[in-house]
Amino acid sequence: MQQAISSPLPVTGSPGRRSGGALADRVFESLCRGAGLFVLLLLGAIIVTLFVGGLPAFREFGAGFLWSTAWNPVEGREDYGALVPVLGTVVSSVLAILFAVPVAFGIAFFLTELAPEWLRQPIATAIELLAAIPSIIYGMWGLFVLVPFVQQYIQLTIGDALGAIPLVGFLFESRSFAGTSLFTAGLVLAIMILPFIAATMRDVFMQVPPVYKESAYALGATRWEVVRGVVIPYTRISVVGGVMLGLGRALGETMAVTFVIGNANRLPQSLFDPSTTIASIVAMEFPESLMGSLKQSSLLALGFLLFVISFIVLAASRYLLRPRLKT
């Protein structure tokens, strides 16, 4: 490419300009390459730092670190395990997906099929604005508005209605009445990831070639039949990719979750029990951890685990989103 551009230059430009231009080209090229490699290097350095920092914890507790529920920072009997934060992270994120995906689908369906033309842009903008709200705002709003609401209206109602179901009823029992729980965290996370999932869904729904939809309409299909029979099958993989993108964001969310999850290092037995997440426990405990201590090492090991989980989720979403977005 470069040769092709610089070779005509000797004929037209002055010699001084040409040599300067070639040098500048080379400098620019190496700068760009450096910038590209820098990202890779940075990512690698972060993984290595987290792993090396967490190594003492992995060595001390072995694989048991992954399924131990202990979190005991008391001097002399320190014992750390990752199960509670890992479980809290995964459960709150999955809850968020369960809450957010139906609503996001509704938004995308409305915006692409039902809404009158003049309404589409305002709603799309409003959704994007939701994504711009800082997470600390969601946290405060969650603590002052959502937590009392869940405590007074949702927790007891659901507990009474579903607590009696055999086998899974215990999931809805409430033993903690403060309103901060896995459920509330899932709710706040759902609102936070809603714009990402809704925007992705809307974009991929709009990519469906009109000729497919018009053919279906021509055959007498209703709007719902068109979406179910044409739009969803056509965009299925991209939709899953968008959901994974939302999941990746939910996994790493720190501030908003910390406010509403109750921060308890105990294994939750119900959705309305307080719990904790990896990001939240690291944020809470890191400032008081001494350098080189087992506690700090365990926190770094947790960070490494979160990195691995997020990496898997995001890599999966990239993989699923790629084929559709390329065309």
Sites of contact with other proteins (CB under 8 A): 70-75, 77, 143-144, 147-148, 151, 176-180, 258-259, 262-266, 274, 276, 280, 283-285, 287-291
Cβ 229 to other proteins shortest distance, Å: 47
Judged by beta carbon, residue 200 or residue 276, the one nearer other proteins is 276
Of 189 and 257, CB closest to other proteins = 257
The residue among 143 and 188 lying less far from other proteins, judged by its C-beta, is 143
Determine which helix (DSSP H) or strand (DSSP E) holds 79, and give its type and residue range: strand 79-80
Angle 175-177-182 from CA coordinates, rounded to 5°: 75
Residue type for position 277 = T
Least separation, in Å, of the C-beta of 216 and other proteins?
52
User: CB of residue 55 vs other proteins: minimum separation in angstroms?
Assistant: 19
> Least distance in Å: CB of 134 to other proteins?
16
What residues have CB less than 8 Å from 314, skipping those under 6 apart?
244, 245, 248
Question: Which of 192, 172, 138, 177 has its CA nearest to residue 274?
Answer: 177
Sequence-distant (6+) residues with CB within 8 A of 110 are: 123
Please, which residue, 20 or 148, has the CB nearer to other proteins?
148
Q: Tell me the H-state helices in 133-275.
A: 135-141, 147-149, 155-162, 182-206, 210-218, 223-226, 232-252, 255-260
Instruction: Kindly tell me which of 238 and 296 has the beta carbon lying closer to other proteins.
Output: 296
Residue 184 makes CB contacts below 8 A (sequence gap 6+) with: 142, 146, 147, 150, 260, 261
Least separation in angstroms between residue 122's CB and other proteins is: 35
